[in-house]
Each structure stands twice: as C-alpha cells, then as structure tokens.
Amino acid sequence: MDLYEYQGKQYFARFGISTSPGGVADTVDEAVAQAEAAGYPVVVKAQVKVGGRGKAGGVKLAGDADEVRLHAGNILGLDIKGHVVRRLWIEHASDIAKEYYASFTLDRQAKLHLGMLSAEGGVEIEEVAETNPDAIAKIHVDPVAGLSEEAAREWVDRANLDPEAREQAATLLVRLYHCYVEGDCDLAEINPLILTPEGKVHALDAKVTLDDNAAFRHPEWDEFAGSDVEDEREARAKARGLNYIGLDGSVGIIANGAGLAMSTLDVVNQCGGSAANFLDIGGGANADVMAAALEVINSDPAVRSIFVNIFGGITRVDEVANGVLEALDRVDISSPIVLRLDGTNAVEGRALLADHLSDTLIAEPTMLEAARKAVSLASA
C-alpha cells in the first residue's frame, strides 16, 4: 500500500524523523485555515500517489492567504499523470540550502536492505542514477545486524553531504532505517531531504510504501487503507478477495496462478493484443471465485473479449467450469469468453461446458489458439 505524502510524514514522525508542521485540506477554506495554523510562508502540496508533483504544478509556495486561495484553487482538481487532486497538504515552508536524497528498500538479489543516499537530491533519483551514478552512495544493511550510527556516519561521509549536515543526517538515517524495518515498509524515501540555511536537516517529502503482507501486525494501518482512492475495478476485486491489476488493453484475462497469468499476458501480446487486466484467481479456486472474477472483468467497459486460461492443479477444472456457468447465469456477460481448460479434471470440466458452447462461449484446445481467438475477438 502506497501512502500519501502527508501519511508518510505522519508515519515518519512516529520514528522521530523531523518534518515541517502542517495539516491536510480538502477545500480552499480549509487550506487557508491550515496555512494560518502552520504560519506563513507555507507550501501548498497536491496529495496524489505519484511523483513529480512539483514539475506538474502541484507544489506551490504561498506568502499570504490570497496566495493560498489562488494555489489551493488551482491545485484542487488538477490532473497529475491521471491522478486527480482531491486533497492538499499545507505546511510551513522551509528555506532550502541543499537538497539531498535518502531511501531504504529491499535488494532482493543481495538479500539485504539497500540504503541510497545522494547529495544531489530534489530531482528524480532515476535521473541521477543515469547521468551521475557516482553521486549515489549505497549501503547494504544486514537485517540481523541492523544499521549502526557508526555505519550511518561512514555512509554520510561517502555521500559527501555538507559537513554541517552529516551528524544530523546520520541520526535521521538510522531513524529512517527503523521506520523502514519496524514500520514494515517496502520503500521509505525522502526526496528532498534538506539542509536549511540555519543548518537543520529535515524531510520535505515522504514516499512510503507499506508491505501489505505485514498488515496483520499493524492494526494502525487501517486508517491509511480507508483514505485510499484506488482504481474502481481494483477495489471491486479486492472486496471479493481477488488478485487483480487493471491495465490498458482490451482482452480481459483470468488465470490461476501468477505465473500463468503473466505468461497469458505475454501470449496475448505475442498475438498482437493487449491485456485489460491481470487477474489471478489463485490455486484451489472454486466456482464462486470464478464467477466473481468474471463479474469483475465484465464490469470493465474497455474489455472486448475475456480469456479464461486455467491449468488445473489443486484447482479443479470442473469447479472452474461450474463457476463459468454460474457467472453466465448470474450476470449478463457482455463480451465473448474464450476458454482454455487443462489439467486436473479437464475432461469433466469440458464436458460440463460442451452443451453451452456458442459464438460467445468458445473453447480452444491450447493456450496459443485461445489467445489468438481472444485477440481476434477483441479487435473485431
């Protein structure tokens, strides 16, 4: 789960990471009230879960109430890379002497935590990585040993932060590490981490991704989940316990197992089509799950054909076939369905469907043939 900047900052605060005082606002009037409370000058910031808000006009400085009104009015409703701004964060503006970058994430290949620190912050880190990779100081942290103050200091020296920032930065980075580990983050990123002219180091931005697998030990995360305005299709699928990711194409895909779902995307692409979604109904899926999956895909107006690709293992194909029939019974499916059913009880499953096959319920013997059919139907 990705957090909004303001939530990320609240999360940082729990771990003693310094941020600017501020508050959220959903209207222009609220923005002014928050600005009065934070003290001028303030910065008015779009709360959307996408980077590059500054460049898109979603971050503006304001010296008085009139400027807050102007900027809040402009930013609310602004579309930033497909994300419409519904909420603002207003904080007391900082003077900036230097902008740094700091983050922790997991290096799966090294099986260690990876910290990245750069004296060249403020810009997107991908840009720094490309144009000036030496400006990023990396540190691998053994999750058992953790990050010591000493290692953090050495890291800060290596990153060449300004001398007056180093001690505070090292302390802050150890806190950020604690936030990342104890806070069960997949990513904890500060860009920019600033040094003020008065010599104070603190976080001006927060990008936090929580590890959903750890949600069971964080009842306090519930407050974040509620505020999440997600893809409608994804919300519907989640409510039914399905692993669903919305994409831009026109072939709806249902497969069992993430591996098969990904291969299905590839085969659809190979056949010249594009997927409208990624939907893995998992192992052991029964009729109910299959019916729910078809309902979710059917509700996406971009879908022109539905490709059901099942290789039964624990999942029994006859159960899946029953699910398809149930869904056809329950909802008015508006796109043709192409089935590829193989594996456990495939013979029984196909037999169940035999009498129901038509122009809109088609069975193909192989994955490739089914993909071709689904793609041709989607472009028909």
- Annotated catalytic residues are 101, 189
Residues in the chain, how many?
380
Query: Residue 94 touches which of Mn ion, ligand GDP, none (CB < 5 to 8 A by kind)?
Result: ligand GDP
- Helix, strand and coil content of the chain, in percent to the nearest 5, comes to 40, 25, 35
DSSP 84-113: E---EEEEEPPP-SEEEEEEEEEETTTTEE
Comparison of 3 and 43: residue with beta carbon closer to ligand GDP: 43
Q: What is the x/- site pattern for ligand GDP, positions 194-213, by CB under 6 A? A: ----------xx--------
Question: 89 phi and psi, to 5 degrees?
Answer: -115, 125
Comparison of 47 and 315: residue with beta carbon closer to ligand GDP: 47
With beta carbons less than 8 A apart as the criterion, state whether 202 and 12 touch. no
Question: Judged by CB under 5 A, how many residues of this single chain contact Mn ion?
Answer: 2
If one asks whether residue 21 binds ligand GDP (CB under 6 A), the answer comes out as no
If one asks whether residue 51 binds ligand GDP (CB under 6 A), the answer comes out as yes
If one asks whether residue 59 binds ligand GDP (CB under 6 A), the answer comes out as yes
Distance CA 300, CA 317 (A): 25
**Half-sphere exposure at residue 94, Cβ-oriented, CA atoms within 13 angstroms:** 23
Sole binder of Mn ion in the list 91, 99, 205, 318 (CB under 5 A): 205
If one asks whether residue 233 binds ligand GDP (CB under 6 A), the answer comes out as no
If one asks whether residue 189 binds Mn ion (CB under 5 A), the answer comes out as no
- Cα–Cα distances in Å, from 30 out to 44, 57, 237? 12, 20, 34
Comparison of 55 and 330: residue with beta carbon closer to Mn ion: 55
Burial class (CB in 10 A: 0-12, 13-18, 19+), 366: exposed
With beta carbons less than 8 A apart as the criterion, state whether 13 and 22 touch. no
If one asks whether residue 35 binds ligand GDP (CB under 6 A), the answer comes out as no
Query: Residue 23 touches which of ligand GDP, Mn ion, none (CB < 5 to 8 A by kind)?
Result: none
Q: How far is the CB of 234 from ligand GDP (least distance, A)?
A: 23
Distance CA 368, CA 374 (A): 10
One-letter amino acid of 134: D
Q: What is the x/- site pattern for ligand GDP, positions 88-127, by CB under 6 A? A: -----xx-x--x----------------------x-----
The helix (run of H) or strand (run of E) holding residue 361 is strand 361-363
If one asks whether residue 91 binds Mn ion (CB under 5 A), the answer comes out as no
Sole binder of ligand GDP in the list 23, 33, 54, 243 (CB under 6 A): 54
**Half-sphere exposure at residue 279, Cβ-oriented, CA atoms within 13 angstroms:** 35
Cβ-closest position to ligand GDP: 54
How is residue 216 annotated by DSSP?
Answer: G
Question: Judged by CB under 6 A, how many residues of this single chain contact ligand GDP?
Answer: 15
Q: How far is the CB of 135 from ligand GDP (least distance, A)?
A: 16
Q: How far is the CB of 95 from ligand GDP (least distance, A)?
A: 6
Sole binder of Mn ion in the list 47, 118, 191, 344 (CB under 5 A): 191
With beta carbons less than 8 A apart as the criterion, state whether 169 and 201 touch. yes
Sole binder of ligand GDP in the list 49, 53, 175, 350 (CB under 6 A): 53
Please report, as ranges, the residues that interact with Mn ion according to CB under 5 A.
191, 205
Please report, as ranges, the residues that interact with ligand GDP according to CB under 6 A.
43, 51-54, 59, 93-94, 96, 99, 122, 191-192, 204-205
